[in-house]
């Protein structure tokens, strides 16, 4: 006989009903909490997959826009991504990111800037810290710069 099985007779049936009901309520709430936690974990992992899939092209676009807008004749290249996250936007995919960029020896319109060596200079602080927000529709390869804020000389 199970833990919540009714005992023989009508009087015994009432005695087990309350404990079994309480047990079901407690276990049911635990299952709901576990299911909710699992859904949150799935949402986080889905969001992480989206970031891993679409952030690299968005970073490349940010760097491209930075070099085009820069008054410097030399190109800047990515040193590191300090922080990145996906903004909550229902219509498009929007990423915000903090990037460290560094001046290279190559001109900004040269070929293969990705492999250009960094400029070594003791006189210049050639590292720039930038914050970008970019919306994208990667399935049609469109990007829109929403915000760019840069500070020179931060490491």
CATH code of the domain covering residue 136: 3.10.450.10
Per-residue pLDDT 10s for the chain (155 aa) are 455 555 555 555 555 455 545 444 444 444 444 444 444 455 557 778 878 888 999 999 999 999 999 999 999 999 999 999 998 877 789 999 999 999 999 999 998 888 999 998 766 678 899 999 999 988 888 999 999 999 975 44
Structural domain of 108:
51-152
In a domain, 12, yes or no: no
In a domain, 123, yes or no: yes
DSSP of the chain: --TTPPPSSHHHHHHHHHHHHHHHHHHHHHHHHHHHHHHHHHHHHHHHHHHHHHHHHHHHHHHHHHHHH-S-SEEEEEEEEEEEEEE--SSSEEEEEEEEEEEEEEETTSS-GGGPPBPP-SS---EEEEEEEEEEEGGGTEEEEEEEEEEET--
Domains identified in the chain, total number: 1
In a domain, 139, yes or no: yes
In a domain, 85, yes or no: yes
In a domain, 42, yes or no: no
In a domain, 122, yes or no: yes
In a domain, 110, yes or no: yes
């Amino acid at each position: 006989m199970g833990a919540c099985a009714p005992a023989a007779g009508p009087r015994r049936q009432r005695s087990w009903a309350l404990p079994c009901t309480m047990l079901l309520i407690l276990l049911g709430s635990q299952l709901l909490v576990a299911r909710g936690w699992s859904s949150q974990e799935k949402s986080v992992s889905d969001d992480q997959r989206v970031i891993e899939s679409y952030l690299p092209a968005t970073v490349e676009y940010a760097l491209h826009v930075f070099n085009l807008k820069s008054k410097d004749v030399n190109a800047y290249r990515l040193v590191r991504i300090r922080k990145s996250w996906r903004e909550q936007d229902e219509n498009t995919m929007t990423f915000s990111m903090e990037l460290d960029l560094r001046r290279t020896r190559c001109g900004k319109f040269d070929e293969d800037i990705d492999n250009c060596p960094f400029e070594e200079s003791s006189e210049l602080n050639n590292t720039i810290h930038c914050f970008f927000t970019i919306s994208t529709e990667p399935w049609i390869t469109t990007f829109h710069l929403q915000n760019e804020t840069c500070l020179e000389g931060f490491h």
